[in-house]
């Protein structure tokens, strides 16, 4: 077995069970290990720390599979881990065959660099680490056995792939799909997910519970849904009796699908306004037109993937939140989110507080949002908690 030997004192994060070994912590790698090989991570004094997948050329040199020296990393290991992740969800949340859910959430489920989502009877996986790439066949085979999915589709095309030196891979891995557009239900609402071309694995599953919670507040209100994608928040608002919903996104395809969803669910098209625009510009236009809303959703894409880009991201969040507060009527609600790993919940709250202050808004936090619970966060891996949000009410 190859070994990664850490610099003196650099074993601390591993002793706290953080699953990443950064290149800066590595003294040397013993043996000719290539990306994806299983290695032992050892402290400078030779003490065993973890068993991991190595990636000698990446910034994250190793990702931990397990903390026990005797664990064998083989096909059975992946079957066990996948079974545990999927079994946990069955036990806690049951399984609705028509709905969508996250089955595997990477590091937090002990499978670094692996995301698995289920859209009704279709499973979509995304591999973004050299270790999971090496064990791709074993993972897909185990998923087939455990889920009995009609099809397994691969969407290993995330930006982070490049950092791991992996080439993107997409397409059908098992079974058959006559169309990549899969119909699901989200708390009763029919939605279509394009697993081939949709964002991420096709859809934003992490916001499921938040969409319902925000939608329930929409009755009789004029709603502005910014960064609406395929209409998740829009549909929930309509179902719960919103007076009007203005949906803004810069993707014409996403807006098109959102409109289709309104018809599919027999919802009130006459209450909908669709805007293909840049939210940063459109919010200014609304301000100049003196438009006002009772409920505004801001769910932008990731502005800061890492802490290094947090400052620029902070300006972006400040800007849209400030405009959001200004566009609210008295008693209005702002549901504002950040999915930037590089912006902590604490920092996000400070940015939103600064935006309220500059907008002259007297705001209270009513709800703190997190990902839907099938996106668990390992306590040893705080990076897993990327999605945070606040529901603010202004006087
Ligand atoms: N709220 C959505 C998910 C939003 S994802 C849901 O619940 O499903 C972010 C969306 O922002 C994407 O649809 C993307 O097309 C859009 N987007 C990214 N930058 C944008 C911009 N500057 N202006 C408008 N839309 C943007």
Q: Is residue 193 part of a domain?
A: no
* Distance between Cα 243 and ligand 1 center (Å): 23
**Residue from 208, 212, 227, 230 to probe ligand 1 pocket by mutation (most atoms less than 8 Å from CB):** 227
* Domain termination site, one of 19, 36, 66: 66
Residue where a domain terminates, one of 20, 43, 66: 66
Which residue from 157, 159, 65 is spatially nearest to 112, judged by alpha carbons?
65
Which whole number is the average pLDDT over 223-237? 98
Residue 307 lies in a domain: yes
40 and 130 housed in the same domain: no
Pair (250, 102) in one structural domain: no
For residue 49 the two structure tokens come to: 């720390």
Residue 137 lies in a domain: yes
- In the reported structure, the alpha carbon of residue 333 is separated from the centroid of ligand 1 by a whole-number distance in angstroms of 20
User: Is there a domain that residue 199 lies in?
Assistant: no
> What range defines the domain where residue 246 resides?
204-394
Whether 133 and 263 share a structural domain: no
Which among 162, 172, 161, 230 has a CA at the least distance from the CA of 196? Answer: 172
What is the percentage of the chain residues whose pLDDT exceeds 90?
A: 94
Q: Are residues 7 and 54 in the same domain?
A: yes
Residues in the chain: 395
Strands laid side by side in the 122-127 sheet: 100-105, 114-119, 122-127, 151-156, 169-175
Q: 299 CA distance to ligand 1 centroid (A)?
A: 7
**46 and 117, same domain (yes or no):** no
Residues with CB under 6 A from ligand 1: 204, 207, 211, 227-230, 232-233, 248-251, 254, 278-280, 299, 301
Look up the CATH number of the domain holding residue 61: 2.30.130.10
Whether 37 maps to a domain, the answer reads yes
Residues 57 and 80 in one domain: no
Instruction: Over range 156-169, report the average pLDDT.
Output: 91
Q: How confident is the model at residue 386 (pLDDT cuts 50, 70, 90)?
A: very high
pLDDT band at residue 190 using 50, 70 and 90 as cut-offs: very high
Q: Is residue 161 part of a domain?
A: yes
233 shares its domain with 365: yes
Q: Which residues are catalytic?
A: 339
Give the burial class of 354: count Cβ atoms within 10 A of its Cβ; 0-12 exposed, 13-18 middle, 19 or more buried: middle
Whether 337 and 288 share a structural domain? yes
Q: Is residue 338 part of a domain?
A: yes
Ligand 1 center to 228 CA (angstroms): 6
pLDDT band at 134; cut points 50, 70, 90: very high
CATH code of residue 388: 3.40.50.150
Which atom of ligand 1 has the smallest separation from the CA of 207? 7
Both 36 and 88 in a single domain?
A: no
Hey, whose CA ends up nearest to atom 15 of ligand 1? 251
Other Cβ atoms less than 10 A from the Cβ of 337: the count is 22
Question: Is 112 a member of any domain?
Answer: yes
For residue 145, the domain's CATH number is 3.30.750.80
Which of 27, 43, 66 lies at the terminal end of a domain, its last residue? 66
In this prediction, residue 379 carries a pLDDT of 97
Q: Which pLDDT score, from 0 to 100, does residue 307 have?
A: 72
* Shared-domain flag, residues 362 and 299: yes
Does 81 share its domain with 209? Answer: no
Of the candidates 248, 257, 254, 260, the one whose C-alpha atom is nearest the C-alpha of residue 284 is: 248
Asked if residue 350 and residue 220 are part of one domain, the reply reads: yes
**pLDDT tens for residues 55-91?**
998 999 999 999 999 999 999 999 999 999 999 999 9
Q: Please identify, by atom number, the ligand 1 atom nearest to the C-alpha of residue 337.
A: 1
pTM above 0.95, yes or no: yes
Best of 225, 229, 236 to mutate for ligand 1, by most ligand atoms within 8 A of CB? Answer: 229
Residue 181 CB neighbour total at 10 angstroms: 16
Task: Kindly indicate the confidence band of residue 310, based on its pLDDT and cuts at 50, 70 and 90.
Answer: confident
Ligand 1, closest atom to CA 249? Answer: 25
- Structural domain tally of the chain? 3
Reported confidence tier of residue 160, pLDDT bands at 50, 70, 90:
confident
Predicted confidence (pLDDT) per residue in 26-49, tens digit:
999 998 999 999 999 999 999 999
Ligand 1 centroid, distance to 254 Cα (angstroms): 9
- Please report the atom of ligand 1 found closest to the CA of residue 204: 8
User: What is d(CA 214, CA 224) in angstroms, rounded to the nearest whole number?
Assistant: 12
């Amino acid at each position: 077995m190859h070994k990664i030997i850490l610099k003196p004192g650099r074993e601390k994060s591993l002793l706290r069970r953080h699953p990443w070994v950064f290149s800066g912590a590595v003294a040397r790698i013993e043996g000719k290990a290539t990306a994806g090989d299983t290695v032992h991570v050892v402290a400078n004094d030779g003490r065993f720390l973890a068993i991991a997948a190595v990636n000698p050329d990446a910034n994250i040199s190793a990702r931990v599979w397990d903390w026990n020296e005797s664990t064998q990393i083989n096909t059975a290991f992946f079957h066990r881990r996948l079974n545990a992740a999927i079994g946990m969800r069955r036990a806690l949340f049951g399984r609705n065959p028509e709905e969508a859910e996250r089955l595997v959430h990477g590091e937090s489920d002990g499978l670094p660099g692996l995301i698995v989502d289920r859209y009704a009877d279709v499973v979509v996986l995304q591999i973004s680490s050299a270790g999971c790439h090496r064990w791709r066949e074993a993972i897909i085979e185990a998923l087939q056995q455990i889920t009995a999915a009609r099809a397994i589709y691969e969407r290993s095309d995330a930006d982070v792939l490049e950092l791991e030196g992996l080439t993107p891979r997409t397409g059908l891995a098992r079974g058959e799909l006559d169309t990549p557009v899969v119909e699901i239900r989200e708390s009763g609402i029919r939605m279509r997910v394009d697993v081939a071309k949709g964002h991420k694995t096709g859809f934003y599953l992490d916001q499921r519970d938040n969409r319902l919670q925000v939608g329930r507040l929409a009755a009789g209100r004029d709603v502005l849904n910014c960064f609406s994608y395929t209409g998740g928040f829009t549909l929930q608002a309509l179902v719960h009796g919103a007076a009007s919903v203005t949906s803004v996104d810069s993707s014409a395809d996403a807006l098109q699908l959102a409109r289709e969803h309104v018809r599919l669910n027999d919802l009130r098209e006459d209450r909908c306004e669709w805007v293909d625009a840049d939210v940063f510009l459109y919010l200014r236009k609304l301000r100049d037109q003196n438009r006002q809303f009772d409920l505004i959703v801001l769910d932008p894409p990731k502005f800061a993937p890492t802490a290094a880009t947090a400052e620029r991201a902070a300006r972006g969040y400040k800007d849209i939140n400030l405009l959001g507060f200004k566009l609210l009527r008295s008693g209005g609600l702002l549901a504002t989110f950040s999915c930037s790993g590089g912006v902590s919940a604490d920092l996000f709250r400070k940015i939103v507080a600064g935006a309220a202050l500059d907008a002259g808004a007297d705001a209270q936090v009513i709800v703190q949002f997190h990902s839907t619970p099938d996106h668990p966060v390992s306590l040893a891996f705080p990076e897993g908690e990327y999605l945070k949000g606040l529901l603010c009410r202004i006087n």
